[in-house]
Structure 1
Amino acid sequence: MGVGLRRVSARAGRHGREFVGLVAGVRVSVLTLVWILASLGVLLAVPVRPSAGRRIEVWASRLCERDLARLSRWMGTTVTLRASGPARALHLLLRLPVHLASLYLLVSVAALVPILVVGVVIQAVTGTATHVRADWPGVGVDVSSISLGLIAALMVLVLTWWIVPVLAEVDRWLARTLLGPTEEDRMRRRIEELTRTRSGIVRAVDQERRRIERDLHDGVQQRVVALAMLLGRARRRGDPAHAADLVRRAHAESAVLLDELREVAWRIYPTALDTLGLEAALNEAAERGPLPVTVRCDLPAPLPPELSTAVYFVAREAMTNAAKHARADGVVVDLGVHDSRVCLTVSDDGRGGADPDGEGLTGLARRVRALDGTLEVHSPQGGPTAVRVVLPLDR
């Protein structure tokens, strides 16, 4: 029941943002109409000034940039402006019907629903058959009963619920098709990204090997040498009591050695990730750290192994950074799935100022990009810090 309510709430929030985004696009449409009139004036002028034509192109580019910013803010669609001048002009023209429909939808909802509800309230209070009438292009309502008024208002809201996603998807499609990169551009960028990712992974593997070598040399190897020396001294001692004491010290040293080996193995790859799952592995990492960590995990199903591994190491690195550098008092790890994407956010209440180009975060970004994901770091001076990772579920 709780999961169903969360899904309905998330869908309602998404539709609400899309509705606001469509309404916000009306402003760009008004500016587009002004741009069309100005363009016609330039084209009809004799002779046509080159500088005026350039200003028209610049205006079109700015309108497209503003429209893409609206899509990114309200509809969660990020499009890189790559199109030429004619494609930008075509986009501005084709999007006008979408936003005219959005404006009409806004007027209908903002005017029709209150009229119907007010009519229902008046009839319920007075007990008289108050007619509620609304007439404008495409809409004609004449309601004289409470039940019909409520049903009509509900129908308007339901139609809005279904129409908004359709208009929003058309809006996104126009932007992606006309303003975004072409298939050739996408393939070129993909090849460049894969080349960079491959080189980065090779460097990351080399760095990881050096780190493991340092852990073994500076920790485990020293313990092994100390253990061997204790056993050698015990073997050479003629005094049984002294030899027994050296053996006891060697036994204690071996226990410490085993703990360090387990720690090195855990840093390389935690067995809990495979045996108990991602949530248990994150909780284990939280318990090992010096800071209090709250883990909130809402996964409908286990993630694929490569995604689980990436999420785990990003979360662990972010927790480590918060403890080492941020002077934080606590860390919160949020993990969930939204719109077929795995979303991880690790936030702390520390002093901020994290460097996204640092060695640790750069290595994590390479790991995330190898899975077609994105890693964002928001860490202003004074804090707080938030590391957000988005990974596609269907690759």
Structure 2
Amino acid sequence: MGPLLDRLSADLQEASAELRDLAHGIYPPQLAQYGLETALRAVAQHSPLRTTVRAAGIGRYPPEIEINIYFCLLEAMQNAIKHAGEKATVTIDLRDEGGLSFDFRDDGDGSSPERIRSGHGITNMYDRLGAIGGTLTIDTSPGAGVHLHGEIPAGTAQGTPPCGK
């Protein structure tokens, strides 16, 4: 019975990995058609938390930049929904000032930095931003909400200007 269970376990792990890879490969239609700002505003509209997206002057970026930042911020939203508390608010600021950066803030319950850094969601965010040459910093403490700052250097995040610029 041991070898059979071992084989089933290996098959299950392989199927999970394939499903994860497939899910990471799905490109949201709004992101593909309209870009990061519009796609994040659509997510914000459907969030159970009051969410504000500010992104004046953000253009389009290479698909690998947009998808990784989109899923990084989606992960942050999911974490806020789960852990910040139902009355928390979220603010996402996107800027292009010599490189693309974002600040994600919630005014929820916060946590210890060690606890947040040990989570799979944060690990995924670090991995996503690292894959495109970016960095992620975390600022949080119990009772003080969460602030995530992501930055993609200018040489990596070559965007096109928004319409009219």
Q: Aligned-pair distance for 1:349?
A: 0.6
The one-letter code sitting in structure 2 at the alignment partner of 1:383 is A
Q: What is the CA–CA distance in structure 2 between the aligned matches of 1:283 and 1:344, rounded to whole Å?
A: 14
Q: Assess if the C-alpha contact under 8 Å between 2:72 and 2:124 holds in 1.
A: no
The one-letter code sitting in structure 2 at the alignment partner of 1:273 is L
The one-letter code sitting in structure 2 at the alignment partner of 1:335 is L
**Given the alignment of the two structures, is residue 209 of structure 1 paired with residue 23 of structure 2, yes or no?**
no
Aligned equivalent of 1:385, options 146, 158, 162: 146
Q: What is the CA–CA distance in structure 2 between the aligned matches of 1:208 and 1:281, rounded to whole Å?
A: 26
Q: Aligned-pair distance for 1:211?
A: 4.8
Residue equivalent to 1:349: 107
Q: Which has the higher strand share?
A: 2
> Could you say what secondary structure the match of 1:298 adopts?
coil
TM-score when scaled to structure 2? 0.74
Mapping 1:325-344, distance limit 5 Å: 325-327=83-85, 328-338=87-97, 340-344=98-102
> Could you say what secondary structure the match of 2:117 adopts?
coil
> Could you say what secondary structure the match of 1:293 adopts?
strand
TM-score when scaled to structure 1? 0.33
Mapping 1:153-168, distance limit 5 Å: none
Stretches (4+) displaced over 3 A: 206-213
**Given the alignment of the two structures, is residue 279 of structure 1 paired with residue 37 of structure 2, yes or no?**
yes
The one-letter code sitting in structure 1 at the alignment partner of 2:95 is G
Residue equivalent to 2:66: 308
Residue equivalent to 2:28: 270
> Could you say what secondary structure the match of 1:355 adopts?
helix
Q: 1:300 to 1:349 in 2, by over 3 A?
A: closer
Mapping 1:60-209, distance limit 5 Å: 209=18
1:243-273: CA deviations, max 9, x gaps?
Answer: xxxxxxxxxxxxxxxxxxxxxx8x9431110
Q: Aligned-pair distance for 1:299?
A: 3.1
Q: What is the CA–CA distance in structure 1 between the aligned matches of 2:58 and 2:88, rounded to whole Å?
A: 30
Q: Assess if the C-alpha contact under 8 Å between 1:335 and 1:342 holds in 2.
A: yes
Q: Aligned-pair distance for 1:304?
A: 1.9
Q: 1:211 to 1:309 in 2, by over 3 A?
A: closer
Unaligned runs of 5+ in 2: 1-14, 157-165
How many residues end up aligned between the 2 structures?
138
Q: What is the CA–CA distance in structure 1 between the aligned matches of 2:36 and 2:117, rounded to whole Å?
A: 25
Q: Assess if the C-alpha contact under 8 Å between 1:289 and 1:320 holds in 2.
A: no
Aligned equivalent of 1:361, options 122, 131, 139: 122
Q: Assess if the C-alpha contact under 8 Å between 2:80 and 2:108 holds in 1.
A: yes
**Given the alignment of the two structures, is residue 375 of structure 1 paired with residue 136 of structure 2, yes or no?**
yes
Q: What is the CA–CA distance in structure 2 between the aligned matches of 1:347 and 1:367, rounded to whole Å?
A: 19
The one-letter code sitting in structure 2 at the alignment partner of 1:332 is T
Larger gyration radius, structure 1 or structure 2: 1
Q: Aligned-pair distance for 1:300?
A: 4.6
Q: Aligned-pair distance for 1:348?
A: 0.3
Q: What is the CA–CA distance in structure 2 between the aligned matches of 1:381 and 1:279, rounded to whole Å?
A: 30
Aligned equivalent of 2:77, options 319, 326, 348: 319
Q: 1:299 to 1:314 in 2, by over 3 A?
A: farther
Q: 1:279 to 1:360 in 2, by over 3 A?
A: same
Residue equivalent to 2:6: none
Q: Aligned-pair distance for 1:207?
A: 5.9
**Given the alignment of the two structures, is residue 296 of structure 1 paired with residue 105 of structure 2, yes or no?**
no
> Could you say what secondary structure the match of 2:55 adopts?
strand
Q: Aligned-pair distance for 1:394?
A: 1.2
Unaligned runs of 5+ in 1: 1-205, 214-264
Q: Which has the higher helix share?
A: 1
Of structures 1 and 2, the one scoring higher in RCO (CA 8 A, sep 6+) is 2
Q: What is the CA–CA distance in structure 2 between the aligned matches of 1:350 and 1:334, rounded to whole Å?
A: 17
**RMSD of aligned C-alpha atoms?**
2.5
Q: Aligned-pair distance for 1:278?
A: 1.2
Q: What is the CA–CA distance in structure 2 between the aligned matches of 1:212 and 1:371, rounded to whole Å?
A: 17
